[in-house]
Structure 1
Amino acid sequence: MDTMRWKDGSLILLDQTKLPVKMMYITCTRWNEVRDAIRILAVRGAPAIGVAAAYGMVLAAYELLKNNHTITTSDYIADLQRISKKMDAARPTAVNLHWALSQVMTTVNHMTAATAWEITKVLEKQAIAMQHEDVSINTALSTYGADELLKYTNKPLTILTHCNAGALATAGVGTALGVIRALHKKNRIRMVYADETRPLLQGARLTATELMSDGIPVTLITDNMAAWVMKTKGVDAVIVGADRITGNGDTANKIGTYGVSLLARAHHIPFYVAAPVSTFDLTLKTGTEIPIEERNPDEVRCIGEVAISLKNASVFNPAFDVTPHENIKAIFTELGVLQNPDSYTISKFFKQKEVL
């Protein structure tokens, strides 16, 4: 299942809102169609929406050229900046979206002497490179993660995960599920327990589907079964993805992750986060500064199109929560494993790696 394809000047996105019942693709030829696909979660997962947004900016660039063949470079750049801000507002929590758009606009702002057409072609090459690079990044962090887990045991592992941090959340391979895939290739996965992940059921609809398609042993559980599974099923580790990681290691991920981290801590089970370095937002000191997206109340009032509450029931529907760094044993990145994340270890890690 390809998350996205760039073909003949169009971005073709797998509509993840339809999985697993239907495999349908959305063909985006305009930038606002990409923004809307990000907003409704047709494409989702921090790395995937970053790459999709980069392609959305390419579509925007082509639109500007089509609508005004004589557009000046200054007007073209101003319009791209305006569109970038609108694209960035589609999902406020996932920093990879902002990171990708910043990469695009940095390129644009360094080409003020070029023509709009020349900039557009460079942006297209950049988006394609981002997509390929994401696969390489996920492969690297997955290897680091698998090797780290295998330091502690020689037996096949039982893993619990939450939401979907697989190939469907990225350009390919996945982050948390990438680690699981790497372990499976070494015959070191006994079972994966996948939380269903209410209210949009990404664990049930996406993670279970992905793992089953790869022949990886997976058991689907409801979110409120996680504690009992940890107590009775011999869970060796929890691995999740991330949408934003602050300077002290606090981590935003799909709603419910914080609760899973508390359960893991209570059961003395190591809790790991798998994420590329682009997920770190070192402009924020702690998780209290992360903007938390709140979504349509009907996502909670209904399962699919079936109502499960009164239509006027009051609803609180945050899309994400924040896991404090104290609950995280390590973060797996493409540059290595960041042990016991906190302000000091993260600062030291990035100074050593000379990134960000």
Structure 2
Amino acid sequence: MRTIDWVNGAVEIIDQTALPGEERILRLHTVGELIAAIQSLAVRGAPALGVAGAFGVALASRVHLDDPAALDLAVQRIETARPTAVNLARGARRAAALIPHGPEAVLAEARAVRDEEIAASAAMARLGADLVAELCGEERPRLLTHCNTGGLAAVTVGTALGVVGELHRRGRLAGVIASETRPLLQGARLTSWELTRWGVEHRVAVDSAGPFLMARGEVDAVILGADRICANGDVINKIGTYSHALGAHRAGIPFLVVAPESTVDRDTPSGTDVEIEDRGSAEVTAWSEAVNPAFDITPYDLVTAIVTDRRVIRVDRGEKP
């Protein structure tokens, strides 16, 4: 099942805000509808956002075929709909480069972005499962994951959750703890939904329980995704990632990041150079002002390895992206 695709002249997505209660398909016909879906998190996850950005430019190229100024503005709006994940702007710019060749060329490039992310998920699943087996030995590991990194975030299969699925298929997985991922509960709602569909044994834990469960010996490795990986190896990912990295470091267990090459940003030196999106108080509380960063920065020296669709980067051995 593709969780985002181009179907009969529109972008179709699984509405992630409706899960797990309802499996609802949204058809997005305009740039405004696509941007609203991105900003409301109806579509989210770095690879899926890259595809959404490319398909958004395909929509814009058809609507504004004879108005270059309006088309440029639409592309800019798509690129900046969310600031932190590098894939969104990259997908939009890649499709926009084909605008001089016409709408069909733009759509073909957007479909190529989609197909490459699908292939990347399959490759990451294999490489990541091999690495987990290497690091955890013959024992079937108990893994902790954070946020959602399955097909919902990556068109099909997923990044870190794709590795979980591959280990399950190999019979090499003891179980999963899914961190609930406050404040919007992507782990409790989305990851649990996907793991249930795959038949993977799992439990949901509150975010703050993760480091304690590691300290108590209930987790053998942490595996999660990334919205951006900086040139020095710093990882930008869902808020709460840094806490899990600290817990894994203290417990002496692997901390693994799984993300496609399209998420590696060699133009950004370190995490301090990344704009961290704050999503405002309403997602957290209605009674007071709140600080609500959507992402945090995990320093590279807390990362054991980064798995992309092309390679395994052993950060713990001094390797850089």
Give the drift of 1:5.
Answer: 2.8
The letter of the residue matching 2:298 is T
Summarize the Cα distance change of 1:341–1:282 in structure 2 as closer, same or farther, 3 Å threshold.
farther
The letter of the residue matching 1:106 is A
Match of 1:68 in 2: none
- The answer to which of 215-224 and 228-237 deviates more is 228-237
Distance 1:149 1:211 in 2: 18
The alignment of Structure 1 onto Structure 2 pairs a total of residues equal to 320
User: Are the equivalent residues in 1 in contact too, given 2:11–2:29 (CA < 8 A)?
Assistant: yes
Match of 1:138 among 121, 125, 129: 121
User: Are the equivalent residues in 1 in contact too, given 2:58–2:95 (CA < 8 A)?
Assistant: no
Match of 2:145 in 1: 161
Distance 2:260 2:120 in 1: 7
Give the drift of 1:314.
Answer: 1.9
Match of 2:61 in 1: 61
The letter of the residue matching 1:331 is I
Distance 2:192 2:87 in 1: 24
User: Are the equivalent residues in 2 in contact too, given 1:38–1:90 (CA < 8 A)?
Assistant: yes
Match of 1:183 among 167, 173, 191: 167
Pairing 1:206-221 to 2, within 5 Å after superposition:
206-221=190-205
Question: SS of the residue aligned with 1:326?
Answer: helix
Question: SS of the residue aligned with 1:220?
Answer: strand
Match of 2:213 in 1: 229
Flag the structure with larger Rg.
1
User: Are the equivalent residues in 2 in contact too, given 1:249–1:325 (CA < 8 A)?
Assistant: yes
Distance 1:229 1:21 in 2: 29
Match of 2:16 in 1: 16
Give the drift of 1:195.
Answer: 0.3
Identical-residue share of aligned pairs (%): 41
The letter of the residue matching 2:314 is Q
Q: Which runs of 5+ in 1 are unaligned?
A: 66-70, 302-310, 350-356
Match of 1:316 among 284, 291, 295: 291
Pairing 1:30-45 to 2, within 5 Å after superposition:
30-45=30-45
Match of 2:319 in 1: 345
Distance 2:22 2:218 in 1: 34
Residues 32-51 of structure 1 deviation map (CA, whole Å, 9 limit, x = unaligned): 11111001100000110110
Distance 2:167 2:56 in 1: 34
Q: How big is the alpha-carbon RMSD for the aligned residues of Structure 1 and Structure 2?
A: 1.5
Match of 2:246 among 253, 256, 262: 262
User: Are the equivalent residues in 2 in contact too, given 1:93–1:293 (CA < 8 A)?
Assistant: yes
Instruction: Say if 2:88 is the partner of 1:105.
Output: no
Give the drift of 1:148.
Answer: 1.2
Distance 1:279 1:231 in 2: 30
Question: SS of the residue aligned with 2:13?
Answer: strand
Distance 1:43 1:233 in 2: 35
Question: SS of the residue aligned with 2:76?
Answer: helix
User: Are the equivalent residues in 1 in contact too, given 2:79–2:93 (CA < 8 A)?
Assistant: no
Give the TM-score normalised by structure 2.
0.96
Give the drift of 1:341.
Answer: 6.5
Pairing 1:326-345 to 2, within 5 Å after superposition:
326-340=301-315, 345=319
Distance 2:201 2:165 in 1: 11
The letter of the residue matching 1:282 is R
After TM superposition, the runs of 4+ consecutive aligned structure 1 residues lying more than 3 A away are none
Give the drift of 1:316.
Answer: 0.4
Residues 176-223 of structure 1 deviation map (CA, whole Å, 9 limit, x = unaligned): 001111111110010100000000000000001100110011111111
User: Are the equivalent residues in 2 in contact too, given 1:244–1:281 (CA < 8 A)?
Assistant: yes
Instruction: Say if 2:270 is the partner of 1:295.
Output: no
Distance 2:223 2:157 in 1: 15
Distance 2:2 2:189 in 1: 16
Give the drift of 1:296.
Answer: 2.7
Question: SS of the residue aligned with 2:97?
Answer: helix
User: Are the equivalent residues in 2 in contact too, given 1:249–1:341 (CA < 8 A)?
Assistant: no
User: Are the equivalent residues in 1 in contact too, given 2:94–2:109 (CA < 8 A)?
Assistant: no
The letter of the residue matching 1:242 is A
The letter of the residue matching 1:51 is V
Question: SS of the residue aligned with 1:35?
Answer: helix
User: Are the equivalent residues in 1 in contact too, given 2:236–2:297 (CA < 8 A)?
Assistant: yes
Give the drift of 1:106.
Answer: 2.4
Distance 1:192 1:129 in 2: 33
Distance 1:231 1:324 in 2: 20
Distance 1:147 1:233 in 2: 22
User: Are the equivalent residues in 1 in contact too, given 2:118–2:156 (CA < 8 A)?
Assistant: yes
Give the TM-score normalised by structure 1.
0.87
Match of 2:134 among 145, 151, 155: 151
Match of 1:127 among 107, 110, 118: 110
Match of 1:304 in 2: none
User: Are the equivalent residues in 1 in contact too, given 2:87–2:263 (CA < 8 A)?
Assistant: yes
